[in-house]
Amino acid sequence: MIGDQNNESDHSKSNEGKRNSDFIHAVGEEQISSIGRGLCVLLGISVEDTQKDVDYMVRKILNLRLFEDENGRAWSRSVMDRELEVLCVSQFTLQCILKGNKPDFHSAMPAELAQPFYNNMLKQLREAYKAELIKDGQFGAKMQVLIQNDGPVTIQLESPAGPTDPKLLSKQEKQQQRKEKTRSKGPSESSREKAALRSKADPSASSGAEGDVSSEREP
């Protein structure tokens, strides 16, 4: 999931945000939504996104410290700290992959799946924050989005991706199994193995039991 966050002075690639001072969201001549000071979040949903991606993006959108505090110190307060507004706009073009000079959007989640996914994210944002401060546009509509970006400040967020290739998954599982085996070994056994490795690496080295640390012998 990719998201852009735009800071207005008035986010499973997935979510971008911009800090803006004024934001109007319109379809044709009809105004659909608007906010004052806060964040405009442009959200690109991937075919691979899951609930974990939603949880990550919701947490980051609400807690990123993109605003100044009461003393004017920058990067000190989040949108929740300042009780500012958030406007979310679904934007599948964030999942663009260029094939030569032509954009390809096959990595974006299909609209029939993306809409309930997007609505679920809005629901979580409203539950985690103040519902009346979370605004959104019209899913799937052709819109004119007017953004007054303060700074300008634009932050790109991308939810952490897990491996989807079976080979990568198998490799990850084997690494995890090795870690678990290492943890299960007792400290004494681990110490003996390390000592044995040192002995094999330098067979002529003294154990130091009698204080002799030199490998040289007098004739």
Catalytic (active-site) positions = 93
Q: What is the DSSP string of 94-126?
A: GG-EEETTEEE-TTBPPHHHHHHHHHHHHHHHH
- Tokens found for residue 144: 């004119």
- How many helices (H) and strands (E) the chain has is answered by 4, 9
d(CA 35, CA 22): 7
Q: In a 10 Å sphere around its CB, with 0-12 CB exposed, 13-18 middle and 19+ buried, how is residue 18 labelled?
A: buried
